[in-house]
Chain A
């Protein structure tokens, strides 16, 4: 969702990024501190909550024991049938905590589309449902949601499967003026003209890539941003793997 901003505000945010002093004092390639909580929901196979600044995402991963019943259920609901037919991992994003306007709905729909395509290549023995609840939004939703989802999936899926298939993560890089920034907050997202979101699995393989925004990117700057994204995604992978390993 783009925030309504005045021209001087936009200018200020833009100049701040150019000076490498972002409005919350971070450097261009720094993430906000994220907090990860694991296993909050008792009825899910695994769950995780990630709060990245004000962005707050709760993910529950549920394995279906009875695949036959699932197919029936999916047939009746209809709306999520398309996502489940594409792979055994189906993603559902709910944003009712943020509001019920069309903007929020669009935000959730986009996130759902991106995350379903990220997990499309993942094969699991039983259907897996990844339900994502957005509790707060202050930018960089895809990264936060994918961190939470991959932490929860790591807890839920059997080790044999995880060693065979690497879990992917999203990292989003925005371009503002001549600078690249990661983990943009909502204000910075409103000022960004172009962004690149890369999906990188834990082996460092690029599995998804998307550019978005009103502006256009030159080829050199796009490759630069993809490289930055892959580097940041590997850092995210490292941190998540370390944290989840501490619990196991």
Chain B
């Protein structure tokens, strides 16, 4: 497998027997790269987070009482915080009087990374459905056309909605939508259409309301969708990337990534991409997949680095686990060096924060 296989071999099937090959590579092990996981940052369900009362329990945590003396925690009196509970703080206030005298501690209710914002303590799960935050760029698929709204699968727990008033109709941007618009909704978006949108609000039940009231959002054309765990997408300034290799990549925060050929400037109506373009799209798609499989955070730099590393190898080879590991390992090493280099001048900026890589590594460690 070390020598680059020629087309002949790629054309044929190759089955590999796992178990005989002792070191059959499956996934990137972040420990091999020298990433040290601190015991505090990675937690599994039931792990104690803190005993201090100054923290506010957030998502992914639960509060349990501690019996005096023994130090053992019992779940019975602790109140479980639902993961999608929007108002963890409110609950905290409600419970304040019940728990006044008993000692209690905060424990993790999901496996993931511990995250503290001021006094709010939460655990970000490594693998979950997309929770949604206002302003996030997402990619979704229209499931249903309902009255004055579309129901959209955005990898969230509930179907997201896109209201008719939330879309930009061609030519006319600021006007009331009439009954005719309602009747012609399928002309704008039909069932199965892929759409890039922004999260407008998160409802009380956790369902998302999307809008496409901006020229860069809207229906996606030719291309393919890749699904990755949402936790791997790094939130960045822009999620729409026109890569220099002629590929447009949309990294939706909900874990749906779309890649397609960048439409030509000369003739927009030209529907056909050339085979060379298709193979570039396939390469970028394979890069996104291989990074996701190896739990490397996804953003423009990591995808481009993977693309550069994978440039020489045939695209079909990139779906093989050993090649995926090789590329992902090189990318991870480069990202870690960049991270160390950036830490010297004072950090900040748009570079990679250690938390991002660790969150990636945490996934492989936890799952």
Contact = CB atoms under 8 A, between A and B. Distances in A.
Interface of A: 4-9, 11-13, 15-16, 19-27, 29-39, 50, 53, 147, 183, 187, 232, 235-236, 239-240, 243, 246-247
Interface of B: 7, 10-20, 24, 141, 143, 190-194, 219-225, 260, 271-273, 275, 278-279, 281-283, 285-286, 314-316, 318-321
B357 to A, nearest CB: 25
A8 B190 CA distance: 12
Nearest to B322: A33
B319 A53 contact: yes
Nearest to A185: B319
Nearest to B21: A35
Contacts of B191: 4
Contact of B192 (A5, A24, A35): A5
Contact of A30 (B10, B16, B141, B260): B10
Contacts of A35: 15-18, 24, 321
B275 A37 contact: no
Contact of B13 (A5, A6, A24, A239): A239
Given A4-B141, A4-B192, A21-B278, A9 B17 contact: no
Contact of B11 (A27, A33, A37, A246): A27
A141 to B, nearest CB: 16
Contacts of A235: 12-13
24 contacts: A6-B192, A7-B190, A9-B223, A11-B222, A15-B273, A15-B278, A21-B275, A21-B282, A22-B282, A24-B316, A25-B282, A25-B316, A25-B318, A25-B319, A31-B14, A34-B13, A36-B15, A36-B16, A36-B17, A38-B17, A38-B19, A39-B19, A50-B15, A239-B15
A12 B11 contact: no
Is chain B's binding surface mostly helix, strand, loop or mixed? mixed
A8 B18 contact: no
B219 to A, nearest CB: 8
Contacts, number: 130
A96 to B, nearest CB: 19
B316 A27 contact: yes
A37 B19 contact: yes
Contacts of B318: 25
Given A25-B282, A25-B315, A247 B17 contact: yes
A187 B224 contact: yes
A236 to B, nearest CB: 6
A239 B281 CA distance: 31
A25 B279 CA distance: 6
Contacts of A8: 220-223
B315 A24 contact: yes
B104 to A, nearest CB: 38
Contacts of A243: 15, 17
A35 B273 CA distance: 33
Contacts of B279: 21, 25
A151 to B, nearest CB: 9
A187 B282 CA distance: 14
B51 to A, nearest CB: 39
Contacts of B286: 24-25
A233 B79 CA distance: 58
Given A5-B192, A19-B278, A30 B224 contact: no
Contacts of B16: 33-36
A100 B156 CA distance: 19
A20 B275 contact: yes
Nearest to B314: A25
A240 B13 CA distance: 11
B279 to A, nearest CB: 5
Contacts of B192: 4-7, 9
Contacts of B15: 33-36, 50, 147, 236, 239-240, 243
A39 B19 CA distance: 10
The 10 nearest A-B residue pairs measured at CB: A25-B315, A31-B13, A25-B282, A12-B222, A19-B275, A239-B15, A34-B15, A243-B17, A6-B193, A21-B278
A53 to B, nearest CB: 7
A26 B224 contact: no
Contacts of A240: 15
A9 B225 contact: yes
